[in-house]
Amino acid sequence: MRVLIAGWFSFDDMGATAGDMIARDLAYQWLQEVNIPADIADSPKFPYPGGINWRLADPNQYTDILFVCGPFGNGWPVTDLLSHFNNCRLLGLNLSLMESLDAWNPFTLLIERDSSRKNNPDITLYAAPPSVPVAGIILSHKQKEYGNKALHETANAAIDQLLAKVEVARVPIDTSLLDNAGGLRSSGEVESLIAKMDLVITTRLHGTALAIKNGIPVIAIDPIAGGAKITAQVETLNWPVLFNAGSLDENKLLDAFNYCLTRSARLTARECAATAIKKIENLKESFLTQLCLYDKKYAYGN
């Protein structure tokens, strides 16, 4: 017995989903557990290490085709796949059957997700949860007031290069409330989203401050050559991760990314926030004291 695992990931333009990929990997794992040899039919848009192009595969190399996940019906391109492997038995796993099994049932073995016969839980619920970190990406607009010192494009390019090297779920977060790119409507919505991240990568001051406030490690990149308000804020907070767009190093950015995913970084962020809060309490007292004195002086002066 040798099985070729196919699904919507085996076709270029059929809208394969994350669920399809999870189900594919789970099916492959299950076959390995019982020592059944298997290959995966991939496509150029959804490549898989060691995957094969089913259109070029020798049908005689396989005894079974296992179609995994998603809607399944008697139409193109499924018909092309079945025609190519007409010598093989057809197995189905986690499928939503588009037609009644009484009218069309090409399967030797079928464990459906839903059909005219029965419904079952989607098998992706069984897969181990992923450990991919979630990064909030908070980018500043070009700040013309800094003139030639503004290096936002350089900073953004470095962030893109960093993200290309790591497996991370990116969440663009816009802190501007006018025409917010993510549909966020209030400061509470912005900060709550930041607070859910594993780390933040930002060229914005409040991207830095709100991340630290919520105990989220942050890669702070000052986009102004020589440093400006972000540099001043990071140094004030005593946060150890600070870069300047004028002297970025790819390896150091990667090291910073890895550091920000550690428990130590999260503890440091919380400590920085706690220290800042104590300082702000003193600022509050000083402000109100001076304000009251100013008010009295103004009143007596008039």
Q: 3-state secondary structure string, 33-46?
A: HCCCCEEEECECCE
- Amino acid type, 49: P
Residue 193 and residue 171: Cα distance in Å, rounded? Answer: 9
CB-CB contact of 41 with 71 (8 Å): no
Q: What are phi and psi of 192, to 5 degrees?
A: -60, -40
pLDDT tens digits, 135-146: 999 998 777 777
pTM for this one? 0.82
How many separate helices (H) and strands (E) can be counted in the chain?
8, 10
Q: State the average pLDDT over residues 218-229.
A: 95
Write down the residue that tokens 């009143």 correspond to: 299
pLDDT digits over 53-110, tens only? 999 999 999 999 999 999 999 999 999 999 999 999 999 999 999 999 999 999 999 9
Give CATH for domain 134-284: 3.40.50.2000
- Output Rg (C-alpha) for the chain, integer angstroms: 28
How far is CA 250 from its chain centroid? 21
Token pair listed for 253 = 């950015």
Dist CA 194 CA 92 (whole Å): 42
Q: 3-126: which CATH architecture?
A: 3-Layer(aba) Sandwich (3.40)
Retrieve residue 77's tokens: 């391109």
Distance CA 4, CA 114 (A): 22
- CB atoms under 10 Å from CB of 276, counted, come to 18
In the beta sheet, which residues pair with residue 46? 43
Please give the structure tokens belonging to residue 205.
């001051």
Tens of pLDDT, residue by residue over 183-193, are: 999 999 999 99
Q: What are the pLDDT digits (tens) for 245-285? A: 999 999 999 999 999 999 999 999 999 999 999 999 999 99
Cβ atoms of 1 and 36 closer than 8 Å: yes
The domain spans of the chain are: 3-126, 134-284
Q: Within 13 Å of residue 76, how many CA atoms lie on the same side as its CB?
A: 1
Topology agreement, domain 3-126 and domain 134-284: yes
